Structure 1
Amino acid sequence: MAQQGAAINESLDLAERAWTMAPESSAVLVNLVAARSLAGKLDSALEAGRLLAGSNQEAMAAIGRAYLRIHETSLSGSVSNAAAELEVLARGLRERGESHYLGVALLNLAYLYVAAGRPELALASADGAVAELTGMELTTARLARAFALAYLGNMTGARAELRAASQSALPGQALEVALEAGQIEALLGDGNLGWLAIDQLGRDVEPSTDNGEQALYAKVLLEARDGDVVGATRDVERLQLGQPRTAVAFEAQRLLVNGLVQALAESREASDFIRRGTALAAAQGAAIWEQFGTALQGLADRELDPSSAVISVARTSPVSLSMLAEAVLRRAPDLSATAFEEVINEAERRPWRWRASTRRAVLEGSTPRAASAARVLGRIGEVEDIQLLSDASKRLRDRLAPRIALSLSRRLAERVLVEDLGRVRIHVGTRVVEGGEVRRKVLALLCLLLSKSGFALTREEVLDDLWPEHDPSSALNSLNQTVYFLRRVFEPSFADETSPGYVGQDGETIWLDPELIDCRSRRCLEIIRSMPGDPTPEGATALATEYRGRFALDFAYEEWSASYRDALHASYLRVIEQAVLRDLDSGHFDRGTFLAERAAEVDPEAEEIQVALVRLYRHTGAHAAAAERYESYARAMRDLGIEPPTFTDI
C-alpha cells in the first residue's frame, strides 16, 4: 500500500524490514527489488534481483532474471535478448492469469521495443500494460505509451498521455512524470515544453542519482536544440559514463549525446564518441540509437558528404533525422537534392520538432545554411513565418527565396467559398461575411469575376460592365479603389508582400485565384458539364443539393449578371427535368420526388416540375399532396390565361 502511494521512504523501510524477517521469501524479494529501484538505490536493487533470480520458485526466478536483463541494457546488455526473455515471461504470466506481473512485464517490454526501433510493438505493449496495471505503475505505463506515440509521430496523443499520467500520478511520482516529459519533448517535441518539464526538477540537477542524470541528459539535449553549445558542453561533461541507470541503452545515449554536442561545437572529439555510441547500440540491438548514430556520424564529419547517411537513415528510421534536426540543418547546404527532399519529408511529418530550430537558422543572415532553412520552413511554417520568410528573401542569395514566402502564404491561406446563388454570402475560412456588409461595387466586382471563365476579365471589360457612365480616368480610379477593398474582404490586414494573392491585377487583367476561391455557381456548372449526355442519378442528386437559387440576387437587375444567371438556371432545369422524367419512367419515385421538390423550391413557376410532382405524389400514394400541388399549378396556369389539363389527365 505504501508503495502504491509512492511514499518512497516508507515503502523502502517496510520492504527492508520484511526482508529481514523473511530473507528467502520470493514475494518479499519482489517488493524489495521494486522499493529499492523506486528509491534510486540501483546497486542494492540489482543485488535483490540476483537473489530473486536464484529463487526455487521458477516463476519468481524468471521475474528476477528478467529484471536483471532489463537493467543490464542500460550499459551494454542486449536489448534483443532482454525483449525475447520478457516475451517468454509475459506469455507464461498471461497463461497463469497473473495480471499484475504481466502488466509490469508489458511495461518494460514497451521501453525495450522503443529502443529496438519498434514503436508499433511498444505501443501495443504499453496498451496492454495500461489495461493490467493500477496506481503508480499505471502512471508509468502511460509514460511508456507516450514515448511510443511520440516515436510514431503522434505528439498530440503523446501529450494527452503525459497529461493523463500527470493527473493520475501519486505523491512522489511528479519527478518521474516531469523527467519523461522533458525527454520526450527534448527529443521529439517542443523545446519550450521540454524546459517547462525540466524546470520542475530544478535546472541544477544532481547527476549522481538515476533520475538526476536522466534529467541532466534531457537538459543537454534541450541546450543543444537551443544552440547553447557552451551550456551543452559544460553539462555533457557531467554525465557519468559507465554508471548503470534504469533507462534502456542509456550508455549508448550518453556517448551519442556527447558526440552530438562535440559535433555542434565542431570538435574533433565528436567522431570517437559517435563511433563508440553507434557500435554499442548496434551490439545491443538498440536500433533507434544505432540509426541515430549512423546519421550523426555522416553529419558530424565535415570531410564526408552527409547525403548517403541521410538517405539511408531516412528510409529505415526517419525519426532519427528529427531527433538530430539541428545537426541536419547545419549540413543542409551540403545535401544532394534527394537527401534534402528526404529531410523536408521528415520535417513535414514532425513539423513541431523542426520549426523553432529552422526559424533560428533562417535568422542567421545570408548564409547558405539560412537559405536551406528557409526552404524547409517554407514547407512546415506557420502564419507567423510568412513575414519572417518575406524579410529573409530580401537578403538571401537564393533565386528561390522570393517564392518561398508566397508558397507558404498560399499553403496556409484560408480558402474562400462564395455562396453566390440567392443572396450573396462569403465564407473566408471559418469567418462569414454577409453580402450586405460589403460595399456594393466591391460585391459587384466579386460576382462579376465569379461569373466569368477562369474568374478573369480584362480591365476594359470590367470598366464597361461596372462603370459604363464614367470617363476612363474616373472609372479606372474607381476600379483601383474597388480592388483595394475587395482584397481586404479576404484579408483585413492585407499586405502585398505576404498576401497569397486572392485577387490579382496587372496592367490589362483582373482575376480571382481559383485555387483559393470557389463559389457555389461554379460547382453547379462543373456538375452540369460532367454530364454532356443524359444526366446520371448521382450527378442530378449532387446538382439538386448544390443549386440554391438564381445567381447573385443582390444584382438581379444588373445587365452584366443576367446572361450568366439565366444560362445557369436553364441548364439546371434541363438536367433536373430530364432526371425527374427518367425516375418517373423507371419507378425511382422517391429520388424523383426529392429532385422535383428541390427544383420547385428554387423555381415555383417551372411548369414541367409542377406536373411531374403531381404525378410523383400520385404514384407514391400521396393523393392529398397531389391534389394540393395540382390546385397550385392550375391557378398559376389560369393566371397566365392557359387552361391546365385536368387532374386525371396529368
Structure 2
Amino acid sequence: MQLPILSLLTSRVQMQQRDYEPAIAISHAILETVEPGSQESDHALLNLVTLYLQAGSAGKSRSLATRLRETTSSDQLRLIAEGTRLMLAAGGNGSLAAVTRHLQQMAQQQQGVHPHYYGVTMLNLAVNQMLEDDPESALATSNEAIEALEGTSSRIELSAALVARAFALTLSGRVEESRSIVERASIVDEIEVAFERADLLDSFIDPDAARSVLDSLAERPEASARLLFNLQGAWFYARRGKDQEAKASVAKLESQVEFMFIGQATLCRLTEAYVAVASGAANGPELCDVAYVAARQQGALRWMHIAQLLRAFCDGEEEFGSAIKIIGHRSPWNVTHVADLVGRRIEDFDESVIPFIANSAAIHPGRWRFVLRDRIQKAPTGEGLVSARLLEPIGDRSDVQRLRAYARRQRRIPGASNLGRHLARQLADRAMVEDQSRVSIVVGNRVVQGSMIRRKVLALLCFLLTRPDFSSTRDQVLDALWPELDPPDALNSLNQTVYFLRRVLEERYVEDLSPGYLHHDSDLIWLDSDLVTSRSNDCRRLIKALPMSPDPDQVETLVEAYHGRFALDFEYEEWAAPYREWLHASYLEIVERAVADDIETGHFERGINLARRVLDVDPNAEHIEVSLLRLYRASGAHAAAAEQYAHYATAMREQLGIEPPPLDSL
C-alpha cells in the first residue's frame, strides 16, 4: 500500500495535469486512512480545496476549507483556509477589501518561509488589485508572485501569475511586453492562458485575433472553460452587433451557480448589462444600475467604472462624454473596454471629449483601430471625420489606403482632403543613401546597389544630396545633368528621371499613397529630409556641429561615420567635385588636429589607432601618415615605423617623383 505522503504527491502531479477525478479520489482515500488534524489530513484537505475549486465545484471547496480551518493545528493552513473562504465569498458579493487585508496578512507570514504559498497568495492579491482598478500595484504584486513560483513545481499557478502580469502591463499600454509574457505563460500552461488571452485580444490588443482563442475555450471540457467562454463570448458577439448570439451567451451564464473566481457574480451582472445596452434593450439602464451597485458594494472599482460608462451611454452623448472625461482621466483602459459604444457616439461628442478618446486610442491602438475602421467604412456622406482623424495617429500601413479612400469619398468635408498623408510619412521606411565610395540605397530592409540603377537616376539623387536641404531649382538640375540638351529635351529627361527615381525609393509607388520621398513642383525639386538621409550628410552635420577643439569622443564619432570620398560613381562630374572636396578636406583637417594633439599629449596608442583608420579611408593622406610614423617612433614601435616608412617613401617617389626625407628626420 502506498504511503499517504506519496499519494499526496501523486495527487499534486495529477492536479497540475488537470486530471481532477483521480486526484480527488486519491485525496479522499487519504482522508479515510489518516487522523483528522494530522499533517497528511491537512494536506489532503488542502489538495481537495484546490481541486474542487479548479474543477468548478466551489461549494465543496468551501465546505472543505471550513473543515481544514477547524481541524488543522497549523496557523499557516488556517490562514489559507480562511483566505479561500473569503475569496469564494468574493466570487459572489463578498468584500474585495476583506480579501485584500487577509491576503496581505498571509503574505507577511509566508514571505521567505513558504515560497509556494507566498507565490499563490501574491497571485490572488494581484487579481484582487486588478479588480480594484489598480494595475500598477497588480504589476508589482504579480512580479513577486512570479519570482516566488518560478522555483516551485506549481505550473498552473506560475502561468496564472504571468497572465496577471500581462494583464497589468496591457492596461498600462505596455502591449509588446504583455505579448511576450503571454507567450511565456502559454509555454508554461496553455489552458490557463486561454480566457485572459481572449479578453486581452478582444478588449485591448487585436480583436481580429480573438476569435480563434475564444474557439479554443469552447473546445475545453472543464466547467470553468464553459463559463469563461460564455462570459467572453457575450462581449465578443455584442461588440460586433451579433445580439442574438450575445444574449444566448448571457442566458447560459444564468445557469452557472458555482463561483469559480473573485468578482464572478459582479462580472456576470456587468456582462448582462453590457449586452442589453449594446443591443438597445429597454432594460439596459436598469441592469447598469444593478451592476454598478453590486460592483460598488463589493469594491470592484474596475467593473464599477465600466458600469458607470454603460449607464452614461444610455443617458445620451453629453452624459457619456462627461463620463469618458472623468473615468478616462484616471483609467483610460476602461474607456477602451467599451470602445465600440464610444464609436457609436464619436461624431456627436463635444470637442473637449476627443482628447480623452485619443489618449485611450494611443495606449491601446489595436482595439481602437478595429472600432475606428468600422466607423469609417460605414460612415455616410458628410460623416466620419472624427473617426478618421483619430485613426491617423494610430493606424498601420493598411490604413493609409483606407484613409486616402475616405478622403476622396468625403472630399467635400473641410479638412478631409489630406487624411492619410501624415500616416504615410509616419510609417514610411526611411531611405539611407550610402554615398561614400560606391553608392547604394537602403530603404527599410531593401538594399539597392547603385550599379543596378540608371546612371542619370542615381546622378539626380546624388546631386540633390549635395544641395542645401536636398533642394534645387529645376534649372540647376538641368544645367548639371543635361547641359548638352535643349531645354525641352532636358525637361523631358528630368521628368522621366523623376519617374524612375520615385520607384527606386518606393517600389510600389502610387502618387496618392506615397509618403513623398521626392518632390517635383514647377520650378523646384527636392528630397524630403525627414524621409531621406545619406552618410555624407550625416558627416556634414557632425562636422558643422563640432567645436573648434573637439574632444576625442566627438572625433571618434566622426571617424566612425566617415567611410570615404563622396560618390565615386561620379568622380569626374563637375557638380560632385566641390561637395566631395570640401567634405574630405574638412574631415582630414579635424582628424589631423586630433592626431597632432595625441602626439603632443602622449596619447600614442589612441593616436595610432586613429591614424590607421584614417589611412584605411585615404591611403594618400600624407600628413596623417607622417604623424603615424612619429607616433610609432614615440611609442617605441620601431619595426612598425620602418614598415610604414617604406610605404611612405614608395608613395613619395612614385606619386610625387621626389625623394622622401630620412625616417630619423620625421
The two structures have a TM-score, normalised by structure 2, of 0.90
Q: 1:592 aligns with which of 607, 610, 631?
A: 607
Q: What displacement does 1:360 show?
A: 1.3
Q: Does the residue aligned with 1:583 lie in a helix, a strand or coil?
A: helix
Which deviations, in whole Å up to 9, do the C-alpha atoms of 1:249-270 show, x marking residues without a partner?
Answer: 2222222223323332344533
The aligned residue for residue 224 of structure 1 is 238
Shift, 1:418, TM fit:
0.3
Which stretch of the first structure deviates more once superposed, 326-335 or 382-391?
Answer: 326-335
**1:166 positional shift:** 4.1
Q: 1:83 aligns with which of 89, 100, 103?
A: 100
- In structure 1, distance between residues paired with 2:665 and 2:359: 68
Contact 1:630 1:647 in 2 (8 A): yes
Provide the rounded CA distance (Å) in 2 between the counterparts of 1:137 and 1:600. Answer: 62
Displacement of 1:643 in angstroms is 4.1
**1:70 matches 2:87:** yes
User: In the alignment, is the contact (CA less than 8 A) between 2:393 and 2:423 conserved in 1?
Assistant: yes
The reply on whether 1:179 has 2:191 as its aligned counterpart is no
Q: Alpha-carbon deviation of 1:337?
A: 4.2
Residue in structure 1 matched with residue 426 of structure 2 by the alignment: 411
Shift of 1:496: 0.4
Aligned counterpart, 1:355: 369
1:55 to 1:151, Cα distance in 2 relative to 1, 3 A: farther
Q: Distance in 1 between matches of 2:161 and 2:382?
A: 45
Deviation at 1:83, TM superposition (A): 1.6
Q: CA RMSD for the aligned pairs? A: 2.6
Which of 6, 15, 23 matches 1:3?
15
Letter in 1 for 2:111: R
Q: Could you say which residue in structure 2 is the equivalent of 1:61?
A: 78
Distance verdict in 2 for CA 1:482–1:645, change over 3 Å? same
More displaced, 144-153 or 412-421? 144-153
| Cα distance in 1, alignment partners of residues 228 and 259 from structure 2 | 8
Give the whole-Å Cα distance in 2 for the aligned partners of 1:298 and 1:590.
73
1:247 aligned to 2:247?
A: no
Distance 2:302 2:489 in 1: 69
The secondary structure found in structure 1 opposite 2:111 is helix
Q: CA deviation at 1:499?
A: 0.3
CA distance in 2, matches of 1:472, 1:519: 30
Aligned counterparts of 2:545 and 2:216: Cα–Cα separation in 1: 62
User: What per-residue deviation string (whole Å, max 9, x for no partner) do you get for residues 401-427 of structure 1?
Assistant: 332311111111000110111110111
Q: 1:288 aligns with which of 302, 308, 322?
A: 302
Compute the displacement of 1:85 (Å). 0.3
Separation (CA, whole Å) in 1 of partners of 2:206 and 2:619 = 59
Name which of 37, 42, 54 aligns with 1:38: 54
The residue identity in structure 2 corresponding to 1:538 is D
Which piece of structure 1 moves more, 334-343 or 374-383? 334-343
SS of the counterpart of 2:400? helix
Distance 1:11 1:539 in 2: 68
Residue 590 (structure 2) pairs with residue 575 (structure 1): yes
- 1:338 CA displacement: 4.8
Cα displacement string for residues 9-67 of structure 1 (whole angstroms, at most 9, x for unaligned residues) = 22223334444556664333222222222221122222222222333523322211100
- Local SS of the residue matching 2:318: coil
Name the SS for the 2:433 alignment partner.
strand
Q: 1:633 aligns to what?
A: 648
Shift of the 395–178 alpha-carbon distance from structure 1 to 2, 3 Å rule, reads: same
Identity across matched positions, percent? 35
Letter in 1 for 2:154: T
Q: CA deviation at 1:398?
A: 3.9
1:498 counterpart letter in structure 2 = L
Q: Give the equivalent residue in structure 1 for 2:24.
A: 12
Aligned to 2:457: 442
**Structure 2 counterpart of 1:519, one-letter code:** S
Report if the CA contact (8 A) 1:126-1:144 is conserved: no
Q: 1:251 to 1:193 in 2, by over 3 A?
A: same
* Partner Cα separation in structure 2 for residue 43 and residue 368 of structure 1: 58
The answer to whether the 8 A contact 1:241-1:251 is kept is no
Return 5+ residue gaps in structure 1 as ranges. none
Deviations 1:484-540 (A, max 9, x none): 110011111100010000000111111100000000111111111112533343332
Which is worse superposed, 183-192 or 13-22? 13-22
Q: Does 1:271 align with 2:289?
A: no
Displacement, 1:206? 10
Does the residue aligned with 2:94 lie in a helix, a strand or coil?
Answer: coil
Per-residue deviation, residues 373-418 of structure 1 (Å, max 9, x unmatched): 2222211111111111110112235433332311111111000110
2:130 is matched with 114
Match among 165, 170, 184 for residue 150 of structure 1: 170
Alpha-carbon deviations, 1:124-152, whole Å to 9, x = none?
24314532442444444444444344334
SS of the equivalent of 2:418 reads helix
Task: From 132, 137, 143, give the equivalent of 1:124.
Answer: 143
Change (3 A) 1:394 1:520: same
Q: Which moved more, 1:21-30 or 1:561-570?
A: 21-30
Residues 535/64 of structure 1: CA separation in 2 closer, same or farther (3 Å cut): closer
Partner of 1:134: 154
CA distance in 2, matches of 1:137, 1:524: 55
**Unaligned stretches of 5+ residues in structure 2:** 1-9
Aligned pairs, how many? Answer: 643
Q: Give the secondary-structure state (helix, strand or coil) at the position aligned to 1:195.
A: helix
* 1:239 match: secondary structure: helix
Distance 1:511 1:400 in 2: 26
Greater mean alpha carbon deviation, residues 27-36 or residues 407-416: 27-36
The reply to whether residue 647 of structure 1 matches residue 659 of structure 2 is: no
> Cα 1:492–1:10, aligned 2, differ >3 Å: closer, same or farther?
same
Which residue of structure 1 aligns with residue 65 of structure 2?
A: 49
Larger mean CA deviation between 345-354 and 547-556 belongs to: 345-354
Q: CA deviation at 1:237?
A: 4.1
SS in 2 for 1:548: coil
1:227-238 equivalences under 5 Å are 227-238=241-252
Pair 1:178–1:303, CA change in 2 (3 A): closer
**Counterparts in 2 of 1:335 and 1:615: CA distance versus 1, 3 Å:** farther
Partners of 1:3 and 1:636 lie apart in 2 by: 81
Aligned partner (choices 605, 627, 637) of residue 612 of structure 1: 627
Change (3 A) 1:553 1:437: same
Partner Cα distance (1:349, 1:368) in 2: 29
In structure 2, relative to structure 1, the CA distance for the partners of 1:206 and 1:302 (3 Å cut) is farther
Counterparts of 1:499 and 1:546, CA distance in 2: 30
Per-residue CA deviations over 1:78-129 (Å, capped at 9, x if unaligned) read: 212202201211222336x333333332332232122122332342243145
CA spacing shift, 1:155–1:404, aligned 2, 3 Å: same
| Distance (whole Å) between structure 2 residues aligned to residue 10 and residue 470 of structure 1 | 92
Q: Which moved more, 1:433-442 or 1:135-144?
A: 135-144
Q: Deviations over 1:592-627 (max 9, x none)?
A: 223322222222222221211111111222212222
Listed one character per residue, the Cα deviations across residues 304-361 of structure 1 (whole Å, up to 9, x for unaligned) are 3434322332332122122222122223224444532232233222222222222212
Kindly state the Cα deviation for residue 369 of structure 1 after the two structures are TM-superposed: 6.4
Asked if the contact 2:433/2:440 (under 8 Å) is kept, the reply is: yes
Which residue identity does 2:609 align to in structure 1?
Answer: F
Q: Is the 1:110–1:125 Cα contact (8 Å) retained in structure 2? A: no
268-277 or 607-616: which moved more? 268-277
Query: Aligned-pair distance for 1:589?
Result: 2.4
Give the distance between the partners of 2:280 and 2:408, measured in 1 at CA: 30
Corresponding position: 1:202 with 2:214: no
